[in-house]
């Protein structure tokens, strides 16, 4: 017997073991090849991208930090005005961060550009400090002029009192009081105009004609000339004030200059920023180019590795395919004899058909119960549908009520707003009355002074002016009574204004409360409306579910009838399986290869094969085959007990 015949005489488990062993060997070899290829690719990737990743990491970190520095510098420039401490702290922080970037980067060109950018930032911060300093000088001059005007007002008041006590005419000096008030009104106007103009206006070249602040300052300086013709003390203050106004004007012009220089510094800083961004873009392009070159190299290496793996895999696959073909051929020839064990399979089919028959009866009973449950479910769903429809109607009615309440709240809110406007008008009228009372008080004061002067003149006239003195005294008494009455009236009006303002605040609070109630009512209206829509949708959905349940009920009724038909079909299949089992038994008897089993059933083995070894077979179907659990409880039969495997059967191999 040659080696191939020896191999093909092996049992089927051994043949399958050889096939699996060959497949495992090929799989292991292929896995080793793939792992080695991936290891080679990984080494190449590490070698190619190691340097590039370092550059990419450094550039990304520098780029992110540079973007944050640029954003912080823009924020500092836009918010530094009038904030010295903030400018100093944030400026030092920016300088430190740029210095840290310079130490971190290894690119000398980028480090040089960062140094220039730091220099521009320092220039901008220094110029910002100059702008803030000039602004502080303007503010200090404004306060100084206001202080001098206050002192001038006190001097004028003392002069008026002195002239009054001396009985001299003080009307000219009294006019200066109103002029000083006009001077002081110019200062807030200057501040307001400066704030409205903003830093952007002062960055442009100065135009003296039509300049909002210079016009006011020139007008103030011209009006201050009237003080030079007055009392020497007053004239002295006038000279000081004109000097302060000239200095204020020079400071405004200086502010234009420093703001323009700041604008130039900012433009230089922005240009340097653009240069830095261009440099970063160039670095990114270089890194991208290096990455593309590395990728092409890696693709080439991967392609060569994949080609080698494919060649090795193809060779191994072809070898295994040839071996598996011959092994499969031997297994197939062996299995041709195993097919003769169909008798056992027919018995299994008969047992399975019996089990299907029992299951079909159970399915029919369960389907009938399910149909009954679906009818009850359909009735319950109809009741739920009616309840949900009622809830939807109630929700719609509640939505209408909330909308009506919302209209009432809006009307009340409108009435409160009108009441606030009326109280504001009352407050304004009371303020006008207070001004009139103040004027009356001033008239009474002047009348009192005139009566005092008249009394002095009457005293000088002696007895001839006694009657005039009495009249002057009465006039003085009347003036004092008028002043007292005007003061009382002013106090009453002031109290009234305070109460009106308090009432206005209370009404404003009520208005806010109504507005809040209106907003909440609007939200409640939306929510109730949403609930109404959801209820309608839910009612519609329940209706659809009810219809679906009705359809399911019909389907279940159909399934019940189909289950009964399946039970009948299973009975017929069981009978057919028994008939097939009889046919297989007869076929086995005709084959003459189950002599022992057939002898037990009354058959005799063929006399033409006296030397063949026959294997014993199971006895006739036992009563256990009628049990539904036959497939789990039947006796395990070896293949060689059903199939005769003599030496003559292997001659073909």
CATH of the domain at 381: 1.10.287.950
CB atoms within 10 A of CB 196: 9
CB distance 364 to 560 below 8 Å = yes
pLDDT grade, residue 330 (50/70/90)? low
Task: Kindly state the DSSP code that residue 16 receives in the 8-state scheme.
Answer: H
d(CA 590, CA 594): 10
Whose structure tokens read 């020497």?
232
Share of the chain above pLDDT 70, in %: 69
The confidence band for 350, taking pLDDT boundaries of 50, 70 and 90, is low
Residue 10 region by backbone torsions, left for phi larger than 0, else alpha for psi between -120 and 50, else beta: beta
Reading phi first (left if > 0) and then psi (alpha if -120 to 50, else beta), residue 604 is in beta
Q: Quick one: 384 and 325 in the same domain?
A: no
Are residues 448 and 510 both part of a single domain?
Answer: yes
**Alpha-carbon dihedral of residues 226, 229, 234, 238, nearest 10 degrees?**
40
Query: Do 303 and 447 share a domain, yes or no?
Result: no
pLDDT tens, position by position, 93-117: 888 888 888 887 777 877 888 888 8
Q: Is the per-residue pLDDT at 595 higher than 80?
A: no
Give the pLDDT band of residue 11 (cuts 50, 70, 90): low
N-terminal to C-terminal alpha carbon distance within the chain: 10
More confident site: 133 or 577: 133
For 167: left if phi > 0, alpha if psi spans -120 to 50, otherwise beta; the answer is left
Q: What is the DSSP letter of 474?
A: H
Q: What mean pLDDT comes out for the span 340-364?
A: 65
Mean pLDDT computed over every residue of the chain? 72
Domain termination site, one of 537, 553, 588 = 588
Same domain, 345 and 325: no
Q: Which residue, among 61, 75, 82, has the nearest Cα to 121 in the 3D structure?
A: 75
What residues contact residue 163 under an 8 Å CB cut-off, 6+ apart? 169, 170, 173
Number of H-type helices and E-type strands within the chain:
12, 0
Query: Is residue 376 one of the residues assigned to a domain?
Result: yes
Of the chain, the percentage scoring pLDDT greater than 90 comes to: 1
Other Cβ atoms less than 10 A from the Cβ of 62: the count is: 21
Asked whether residue 259 is domain-assigned, the answer is: no
Q: Please indicate whether residue 210 or residue 555 has the higher confidence score (pLDDT).
A: 210
Say if 96 falls within a structural domain. yes
Output DSSP code: residue 622: P
Q: Does residue 222 lie in a domain region?
A: no
Task: Enumerate residues 6+ apart whose C-beta is below 8 A from 316.
Answer: 26, 29, 30
What is the Cα 249 distance to its own chain's centre? 52
One domain for residues 372 and 286: no
Does position 639 have pLDDT exceeding 60, yes or no? no
Whether residue 162 lies inside any domain: the answer is no
Same domain, 610 and 558: no
Position 228 pLDDT exceeds 80: no
> What phi, psi does 65 have (nearest 5°)?
-65, -35
Cα 308 to chain centroid distance, Å, stands at 51
Model pLDDT, residue 247: 92
Is 562 within the bounds of a domain?
yes
The token duo for 359 is: 């299951």
Shared domain for 360 and 438, answered yes or no, is yes
Kindly report which listed range (148-152, 226-230, 485-489, 631-635) carries the lowest average pLDDT score: 631-635
Q: pLDDT digits over 363-405, tens only?
A: 767 777 776 776 777 777 777 777 777 776 777 777 777 777 7
Same domain, 318 and 348: no
- Pair 323, 345 in one domain: no
pLDDT of 640 = 47
3-state secondary structure 41-75: HHHHHHHHHHHHHHHHHHHHHHHHHHHHHHHHHHH
Lowest mean pLDDT among 235-239, 330-334, 365-369, 425-429: 330-334
Whole-number pLDDT of residue 645? 45
Our measurement of the distance from residue 336's CA atom to the centroid of its chain's CA atoms, rounded to an integer in Å, reads 70
User: In this structure, is residue 316 part of a structural domain?
Assistant: yes
Angle at 271 between CA 269 and CA 277, to 5 degrees: 105
Q: Give the Cα separation of 261 and 617 in Å (integer).
A: 114
Over 70: is that where the pLDDT of 516 sits?
yes
| CA–CA dist 294, 331 (Å, integer) | 53
- Out of 556, 588, 620, pick the residue that ends a domain: 588
pLDDT mean over 28-49:
72
Q: How far is CA 314 from CA 29, 311, 319, 564, in A?
A: 12, 5, 9, 58
Q: Flag the least confident range among 278-287, 310-319, 625-634.
A: 625-634
pLDDT at 397: 77
Between 193 and 556, the more confident residue is: 193
The verdict on 445 and 558 lying in the same domain is yes
The sign of the dihedral angle between the CA atoms of 3, 4, 9, 12 is: positive
Number of domains in the chain: 3
The answer on pLDDT for 624 being more than 50 is no
Structure tokens at 60: 């990304």
H helix or E strand, kind and range, residue 583: helix 466-591
Secondary structure of residue 653 in the 3-state scheme:
coil
What pLDDT is stored for residue 642 in this prediction? 42
Domain membership flag for residue 181? no
Q: Do 308 and 415 lie in a common domain?
A: no
Q: Give the contacts of 80 (CB within 8 A, at least 6 positions apart).
A: 86, 87, 128, 131, 132
Give yes or no: residues 496 and 640 share one domain.
Answer: no
Residue-number span of the structural domain to which 643 is assigned: 606-650
- Of the residues 294, 329, 364, the one at which a domain ends: 329
């Amino acid at each position: 017997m040659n080696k191939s015949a020896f191999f093909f005489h092996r049992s089927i488990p051994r043949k399958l073991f050889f096939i699996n062993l060959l497949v495992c060997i090929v799989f292991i070899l292929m896995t080793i090849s793939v792992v080695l290829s991936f290891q080679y690719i990984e080494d190449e990737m590490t070698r190619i991208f190691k340097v590039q990743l370092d550059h990419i990491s450094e550039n990304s970190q520098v780029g992110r930090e540079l973007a944050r520095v640029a954003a912080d510098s823009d924020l500092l420039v836009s918010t530094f005005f009038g904030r010295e401490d903030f400018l100093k702290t944030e400026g030092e922080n920016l300088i430190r961060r740029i210095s840290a970037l310079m130490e971190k980067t290894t690119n000398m060109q980028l480090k040089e550009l960062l140094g220039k950018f730091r220099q521009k930032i320092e220039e901008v911060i220094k110029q910002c400090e100059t702008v803030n300093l000039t602004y502080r000088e303007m503010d200090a001059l404004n306060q100084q002029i206001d202080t001098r005007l206050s002192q001038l007002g006190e001097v004028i008041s003392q002069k008026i009192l002195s002239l009054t006590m001396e009985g001299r005419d003080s009307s000219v000096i009294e006019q200066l009081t109103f002029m000083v008030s006009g001077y002081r009104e110019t200062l807030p106007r200057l501040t307001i105009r400066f704030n409205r103009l903003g830093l952007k206006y002062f960055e442009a070249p100065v135009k003296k004609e039509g300049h909002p602040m210079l016009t006011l300052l020139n007008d103030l300086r011209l009006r201050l000339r009237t003080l030079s013709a007055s009392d020497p003390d007053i004239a002295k203050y006038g000279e000081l004030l004109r000097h302060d106004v000239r200095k204020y004007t020079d400071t405004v012009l200086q502010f234009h200059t420093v703001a323009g220089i700041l604008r130039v510094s900012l433009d230089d800083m922005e240009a340097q920023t653009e240069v830095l961004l261009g440099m970063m873009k160039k670095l990114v392009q270089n890194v991208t180019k290096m990455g593309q070159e590395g990728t092409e190299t890696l693709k080439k290496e991967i392609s060569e590795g994949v080609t080698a793996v494919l060649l090795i895999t193809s060779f191994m696959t072809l070898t295994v395919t040839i071996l598996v073909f011959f092994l499969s051929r031997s297994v197939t020839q062996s299995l041709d004899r195993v097919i003769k064990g169909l008798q056992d399979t027919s018995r299994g089919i008969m047992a399975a058909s019996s089990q299907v028959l029992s299951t079909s009866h159970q399915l029919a009973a369960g389907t009938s119960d399910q149909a009954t449950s679906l009818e009850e479910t359909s009735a319950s769903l109809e009741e739920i549908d009616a309840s949900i429809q009622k809830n939807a109607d109630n929700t719609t009615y509640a939505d209408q009520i909330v909308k009506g309440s919302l209209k009432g709240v809006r009307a009340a809110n409108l009435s409160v707003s009108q009441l606030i406007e009326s109280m504001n008008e009352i407050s304004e009228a009371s303020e006008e009355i207070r001004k009139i009372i103040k004027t009356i008080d001033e008239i009474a004061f002047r009348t009192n002074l005139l009566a005092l002067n008249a009394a002095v003149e009457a005293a000088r006239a002696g007895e001839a002016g006694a009657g005039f003195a009495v009249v002057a005294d009465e006039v003085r008494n009347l003036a004092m009574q008028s002043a007292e009455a005007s003061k009382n009236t002013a106090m009453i009006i002031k109290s009234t204004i305070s109460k009106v303002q308090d009432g206005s605040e209370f009404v404003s609070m009520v208005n806010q409360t109504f507005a809040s109630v209106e907003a909440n009512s609007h939200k409640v209206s939306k929510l109730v409306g949403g609930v109404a829509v959801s209820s309608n949708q839910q009612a519609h959905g329940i209706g659809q579910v009810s219809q679906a349940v009705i359809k399911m009920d019909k389907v279940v009724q159909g399934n019940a009838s189909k289950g009964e038909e399946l039970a009948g079909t299973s009975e017929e299949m069981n009978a057919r399986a028994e008939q097939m089992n009889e046919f297989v038994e007869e076929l086995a008897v005709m084959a003459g290869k189950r002599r022992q089993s057939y002898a037990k059933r009354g058959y005799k083995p063929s006399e033409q094969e006296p030397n063949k070894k026959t294997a014993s077979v199971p006895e006739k179907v036992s009563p256990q085959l009628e049990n539904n659990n036959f497939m789990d409880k039947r006796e395990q039969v070896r293949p060689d007990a059903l199939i005769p495997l003599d030496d003559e059967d292997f001659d073909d191999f």
